[in-house]
Amino acid sequence: MVIAFPSAFSDKRALTRAIQNAARGTIKSVAIEHDCIICESGNTVELACRLASMFGVESVAVAKKVPSNFSDLLAAIVEVGISIIIPGDRFHVKVMLEPTAKSDYVSRDIEFAASGSLAVRLASINARPARTEKDASSQILTVIARDSAYVCIHVMTAPGGLIAGSHGAVLSSIHDSLSFLSCMMAAKTGFECSSVVLPYQDKSELETSVKLVQHFATKTGRKRQTILAMPINVPGKGAVSLLLKEQIISKILIGYHDSRIVFPFTAAFHPIWFIETIFNETLAAGKMPFAPLIFQSSELVMHAQQAGIELNISAAALHITKGKLQKYYKAVAFESESAIKHTKRLELKVGPNYLHDIVDSI
């Protein structure tokens, strides 16, 4: 059995439908049990791994289905505990008793009894119950549902957030670590980043960005992706060129028909006047700007680590004034229009050779 634990704000019925779609017909049965979704599948491991990559899911467990009467459940928890607890472990037994469960005991009863039995059985390997859940190095989780109980053998962390695509589509760009994190944040909050703009100045930058595009597709579980690849030329030097590049890419994004646009701006690295200018231009074009990272600063390091990327950013542009960019107005407009004209639209299937498929297509 596979148990999916929805994130705090997920619609459980909508998530159940998303799980059924993601499983491609391999699920034999699926049921909502208050705080969790219980799935039966012919390939438990494959389903668990697939659900562990889904937005809207907080965690996923591979579990053993057992009778929910006290004696059988106690024996099952002890059996699983003996198989997963290693020498020197400090273990914790946690029981989730769902409101729909039919039982003549409370969670604490079974937790206390199982902890005591495991302590006796595992004394020879110096494994003892932890004082609190926080102190534990391993946990035996059990869910008691309406008709049966489920003792978890393995629990995996999932991305959390909201169900993918629940808020509709947005247009975004992936050209550096901040833009990648913006796309990830948008996807995690329910936006569908089905089309990605891929601007590049040279071959080296293209290869770096393509790796991020591939990583994004893998992290979000995409099967197909539309890529709008285009060469860009950035005028200016030093810190000024950093803002000019973002300005050109912003104009490219605004130039497409999509009504919602994700920008990779954060007040920690972009001047407020610059962010306001881009937002005003977006709104004037009748489109809606989103900046998932705008209020993020030191948290960006944590987000990058969780996403498995390096955070390559510079705060050099933070103190550049509006006047320093004004003389590049015509150049920025020309470069953005030129980039759109030379766009190559790629409709690619995400697979093991995705990175090479993108580069070869460009």
Closest CA to 267 of 308, 304, 300, 228: 300
Q: Which domains does the chain have, with CATH numbers?
A: 2-157 (3.30.2130.30), 169-361 (3.40.50.620)
Give the pTM: 0.84
- In tens, the pLDDT along 39-78 reads 998 889 889 988 998 999 999 999 999 999 999 999 999 9
- In tens, the pLDDT along 279-317 reads 999 999 999 999 999 998 889 988 898 888 988 877 788
* Full strand arrangement of the beta sheet holding 149-157: 27-33, 36-41, 2-6, 57-66, 149-157, 138-144, 90-97, 128-129
Phi, psi of 192 (to 5 degrees): -95, 110
Give the contacts of 350 (CB within 8 A, at least 6 positions apart).
214, 217, 218, 222, 223, 224, 225
pLDDT at res. 333: 93
Helix axis angle, 354-361 to 203-220, nearest 10°: 140
pLDDT at res. 150: 95
- In tens, the pLDDT along 127-136 reads 999 988 889 9
Q: How confident is the model at residue 140 (pLDDT cuts 50, 70, 90)?
A: very high
Cα-only R_g, the chain: 25
Q: How confident is the model at residue 265 (pLDDT cuts 50, 70, 90)?
A: very high
Q: Is the pLDDT of residue 318 over 90?
A: no
